Amino acid sequence: MMNIDGHTRTCGLIGNPVEHTMSPAIHNTLAKAMGENLVYVPFHVPEGCLGAAVEGAYGLNLLGLNVTVPYKSQVIPFLKELDPLAETIGAVNTLVRAEGGYKGYNTDMPGLYRAMCEDGVPLEGEKVLILGAGGVARAVGILAAQKNAAEIIFLNRTVERAARAAEEVNAAKGGNIAKALSPADYALLPKEDKYLVIQATNVGMYPNTDEAVIEEAAFYEKAHTGYDLIFNPAETKFMKLVKENGGRAYNGLKMLLYQGIIAYELWTGRQVDEPLVQTAYAEMRRAMNLPMA
């Protein structure tokens, strides 16, 4: 048990809801192991109170905050400064205390990239299918473009949204790497091509665990690897369908881990070594009642 005193620094999570969060398991484990006098707590911020929450956090001398749905884009007007990656993506998930306010960062995409590297899933040279066209999907597309994917295709029920996401990726990359299709049009993809498929929607998230954006086995035969950004449940229907059709499948738990590691390093200025990363990962799994990997 840590000793909370007059020198204890506070970090936390703002969102609506926050009750499901696994982030305290990451940050309090890191603080304890590294001897940092720091505590991390979730803050439920009701609709309409975001600006007051950010201003209040600064006034209360909070060291930093994570930001979760639905505030990752809404928080930007209340920040003093934006990191270039967060500005490009248009979403912030980490606030770092600066002079006169908070600086916003996006550690989700660097966290996803570190997770994919850890799992042996490259982006460079890959043909990437992205399910979804919301903020997370667009951010994944920008990441894939930055890491030199060969091709990026957004599959979304509303093709106009997918087309806008593709346009944003192409503008960020300065090329014509991304395009859009409806989910039903996957049959138009070249039969011989195999893809890295990244599931960037909420479909299949607890409690609707028996759902997937696309159900047909023929689609999953095109996937050599599936990466679902959902972490609850630990195995989504999307992942099951990928595996049933011969592909490898991963969930978003390591992305959650590494975005937290990067945020912690930004707040404290200290590097987290790999053994401690694995300790934090084990603590997350314990908190979720998952078997130790």
Nearest to 190 by CA among 161, 221, 228: 221
The rounded distance, in Å, linking the Cα atoms of 220 and 187 is 11
Cα(36)–Cα(47) distance, rounded to whole angstroms?
Answer: 33
Phi and psi of 213, rounded to 5°?
-60, -45
Of 32, 72, 103, 222, the catalytic one is 72
CA triplet 86, 92, 94: central angle to 5 degrees? 110
- Catalytic site includes residue 173: no
Contacts of residue 55, defined as CB under 8 A and 6 or more positions apart, other chains included, come to 78
Q: CA-CA distance, 156 to 154, in Å (whole number)?
A: 6
- Whole-angstrom Cα distance, residue 213 to residue 132? 9
Inter-residue contact 10 to 66 (CB < 8 Å) = no
Region of 153 on the Ramachandran plot (φ > 0 left; ψ -120 to 50 alpha; else beta) = beta
| CB burial of residue 109 (10 Å; 0-12, 13-18, 19+) | buried
Report how far residue 94's alpha carbon sits from residue 65's, in angstroms, rounded to the nearest whole number: 6
> What distance lies between CA 26 and its chain's CA centroid?
15
What is the bridge-based pairing of β-strands 9-15 and 38-44?
Answer: parallel
Q: Would you please indicate which residues are annotated as catalytic (active-site) residues?
A: 72
